[in-house]
């Protein structure tokens, strides 16, 4: 029931006609966090309307739909179903009733104690099985409290949830934002005129002209109502477990995640990678787009020419989403092509952010060699992904992860690369300035699961 998603929220008493448009723009900026479905819920102050469907934000919200969604507050969601079905039913925001009226909920994360929750809250078989995702389960738990006040309902259920969750919740009169005690995934607060906004990443604020204020703290609940916000720490500040993969791959480079700019961090990772894994080469190229800033850092540090040797077709979604291996290999080729005029006859360092199943790197080495590259040295700006993620980044089961089955040299041979080098875990966690190595969840690399 794993979800890799983007959430958004806005509350502003005087933007009636624009509230849904602003959510739409916010979701547009968060599109990289999920491309399977999109939805917006708007509260008029008296009732809540939701529109959601499968597809990209621009496909779901055709002309005319947004103007029907008017109100004082809104939440939005983009979804990539890492484990559960990509069906309309699973798209969000979810609209439900509770003792205090209607509410809508948007969720990013993955709970690790579903069956324990079922027992604690005494859910019947039928109720439990009617929850196709963790997000539905959270809604069901809110209902079971029978509380009329959403804040009180949340204070009862949230301390029982284990795992990763960032929530935006809309009631008829309030917008609420919440982040789990370890702060796995990011959630930030911004100001727009007299109102406030919440988003998974602050790239959603720049697009709507909102000003970044601060992160929602791990375990903090923020309640926005009547153009004011109040805050309550509802979970004890545990040891943090910030998802390092947000910086490696998932977040947008112009975002500030865990208070550090993603592009800058990736550049530093690339520099560190060049120190740890040097190569004799004529040029450094990136795997667009997620490898770009690390490749730039590598080139700057190694003093090797940076070039764009692979061209990305921007009109297809993330290839990783394709369901089976055969399709995945095919889509890598539609997505990326080698620029022969640039790479032919050259010794190339190709930098990507990660190897998961190895499909991307293997296909790209082939593409580059077919385009005449003399040597291809693969450099990866994260350590080997050895373990699957329990907190929602869509890594496959352990058996599918290359590094578990083969040695580094076996993998290099399979990739047909001239050399292969990963950054070390110490190197990766050492590039941050505001966050200590121990603040991160590195379970996908180390197998040390914080929850
Ligand atoms: P693979 O081809 O299976 O080795 O996957 C590695 C490629 O997928 C890299 O180019 C990454 O940029 C990308 N990637 C890594 N993690 C994820 C993820 N959680 N979701 C989608 N794509 C990913």
Residue 222 Cβ contacting ligand 1 at under 6 Å: no
Share of the chain above pLDDT 90, in %: 78
Catalytic residue numbers read 5
* pTM above threshold 0.85: yes
Please check whether residue 174 is in contact with residue 200, taking contact to mean a CB–CB distance below 8 angstroms: no
**Predicted local distance difference test score (pLDDT) of residue 237:** 74
**Predicted local distance difference test score (pLDDT) of residue 75:** 98
Please check whether residue 298 is in contact with residue 379, taking contact to mean a CB–CB distance below 8 angstroms: yes
Backbone region of residue 237 per phi and psi (left: phi > 0; alpha: psi in -120 to 50; beta: other values):
beta
Q: Measure the CA–CA gap between 171 and 162, rounded to whole angstroms.
A: 24
For the chain, give every residue range classified as CATH 3.40.50.2020: 262-438
- Torsion angle (degrees, nearest 10) of CA 402, 407, 412, 413: -100
320 against 130, higher pLDDT: 130
For the chain, give every residue range classified as CATH 3.60.20.10: 3-238
Nearest atom in ligand 1 to the alpha carbon of residue 356 is 4
The mean per-residue pLDDT over the stretch 170-174 comes to: 96
Residues 147-164 have pLDDT tens digits of 999 999 999 999 999 999
The mean per-residue pLDDT over the stretch 299-303 comes to: 98
**Predicted local distance difference test score (pLDDT) of residue 2:** 47
Say yes or no: domain 262-438 is CATH 3.40.50.2020.
yes
pLDDT band at 190 (very low <50, low <70, confident <90, very high): very high
- Torsion angle (degrees, nearest 10) of CA 256, 262, 263, 266: 160
Among 281-290, 314-323, 421-430, the minimum mean pLDDT is found in 314-323
**Predicted local distance difference test score (pLDDT) of residue 51:** 97
**Predicted local distance difference test score (pLDDT) of residue 128:** 78
Residue with tokens 């949230």: 158
Tell how far the Cα of 362 is from the centroid of ligand 1, in angstroms.
Answer: 13
Q: Whose CA is nearest to atom 22 of ligand 1?
A: 320
The mean per-residue pLDDT over the stretch 57-83 comes to: 90
195-199 and 228-233 strand pairing: unpaired
Please check whether residue 96 is in contact with residue 103, taking contact to mean a CB–CB distance below 8 angstroms: yes
Backbone region of residue 55 per phi and psi (left: phi > 0; alpha: psi in -120 to 50; beta: other values):
left
Residue 316 pLDDT > 90: no
Token pair for residue 140? Answer: 């069901």
Residue 415 C-alpha from the chain's centroid: 27
Tell how far the Cα of 355 is from the centroid of ligand 1, in angstroms.
Answer: 7
DSSP state of 289: T
Among 63-67, 94-98, 332-336, 435-439, the minimum mean pLDDT is found in 332-336
**Predicted local distance difference test score (pLDDT) of residue 89:** 87
Choosing among 1.10.10.10, 3.40.50.720, 3.40.309.10, 3.60.20.10, the CATH entry for 3-238 is 3.60.20.10
Residues 336-375 have pLDDT tens digits of 999 999 999 999 999 999 998 888 999 999 999 999 999 9
Residue 74 C-alpha from the chain's centroid: 21
β partners of residue 5: 79
Average pLDDT, the chain: 92
Residues 110-125 have pLDDT tens digits of 999 998 988 888 888 8
Residue 402 pLDDT > 70: no
Residue 447 pLDDT > 70: yes
Q: Measure the CA–CA gap between 415 and 168, rounded to whole angstroms.
A: 42
**Predicted local distance difference test score (pLDDT) of residue 1:** 41
Angle, alpha carbons 284-318-327 (nearest 5°): 105
Q: Measure the CA–CA gap between 267 and 253, rounded to whole angstroms.
A: 10
Tell how far the Cα of 92 is from the centroid of ligand 1, in angstroms.
Answer: 24
Please check whether residue 285 is in contact with residue 298, taking contact to mean a CB–CB distance below 8 angstroms: no
Residues in the chain: 451
Token pair for residue 395? Answer: 């890594």
Q: Whose CA is nearest to atom 19 of ligand 1?
A: 394
**Predicted local distance difference test score (pLDDT) of residue 317:** 57
């Amino acid at each position: 029931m794993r979800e890799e998603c983007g959430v958004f929220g806005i509350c502003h008493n005087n933007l009636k006609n624009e509230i849904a448009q602003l959510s739409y723009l916010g979701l547009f900026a968060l599109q990289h966090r999920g491309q399977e479905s999109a939805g917006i819920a708007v509260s008029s102050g008296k009732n809540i309307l939701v529109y959601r469907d499968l597809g990209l934000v621009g496909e779901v919200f055709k002309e005319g739909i947004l103007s029907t969604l008017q109100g004082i507050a809104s939440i939005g969601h983009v979804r990539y179903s890492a484990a559960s079905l990509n069906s309309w039913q699973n798209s969000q925001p979810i609209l439900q009733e509770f003792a205090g009226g209607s509410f809508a909920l948007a969720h990013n994360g993955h709970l690790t104690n579903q069956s324990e929750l079922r027992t604690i809250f005494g859910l019947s078989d039928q109720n439990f099985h009617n929850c196709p995702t963790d997000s539905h389960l959270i809604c069901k738990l809110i209902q079971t409290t029978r509380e009329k006040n959403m804040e009180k309902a949340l204070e009862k259920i949230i301390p029982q949830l284990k795992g990763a969750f960032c929530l935006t919740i809309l009631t008829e009169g309030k917008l609420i934002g919440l982040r789990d005690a370890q702060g796995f995934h990011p959630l930030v607060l911004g100001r727009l005129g007299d109102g406030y906004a919440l988003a998974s990443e602050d790239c959603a604020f720049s697009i709507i002209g909102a000003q970044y204020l601060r992160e929602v703290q791990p375990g903090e609940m923020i309640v926005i109502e009547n153009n004011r916000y109040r805050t309550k720490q509802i979970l004890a500040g545990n040891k943090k477990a910030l998802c390092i993969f947000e910086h490696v791959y998932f977040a947008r480079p112009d975002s500030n995640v865990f208070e550090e700019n993603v592009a800058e961090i990736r550049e530093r990772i690339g520099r560190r990678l060049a120190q740890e894994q040097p190569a004799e080469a004529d040029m450094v190229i990136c795997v667009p787009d997620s490898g770009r800033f690390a490749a730039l850092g590598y080139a700057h540090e190694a003093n090797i020419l940076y070039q764009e040797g692979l061209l990305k077709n921007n009109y297809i979604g993330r290839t990783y989403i394709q369901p089976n291996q055969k399709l995945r290999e095919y889509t890598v080729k539609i997505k990326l092509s080698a620029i022969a005029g640039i790479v032919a006859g050259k010794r190339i360092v190709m930098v990507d952010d990660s190897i998961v199943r190895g499909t991307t790197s293997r296909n790209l080495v082939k593409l580059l060699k077919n385009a005449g590259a003399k040597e291809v040295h693969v450099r990866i700006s994260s350590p080997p992904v050895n373990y699957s993620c329990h907190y929602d980044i869509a890594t496959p089961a352990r058996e599918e992860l290359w590094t578990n089955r083969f040695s580094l040299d076996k993998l290099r041979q399979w990739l047909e690369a001239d050399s292969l080098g990963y950054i070390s875990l110490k190197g990766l966690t050492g590039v941050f300035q505001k966050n200590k190595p121990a603040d991160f969840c590195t379970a996908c690399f180390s197998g040390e699961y914080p929850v």
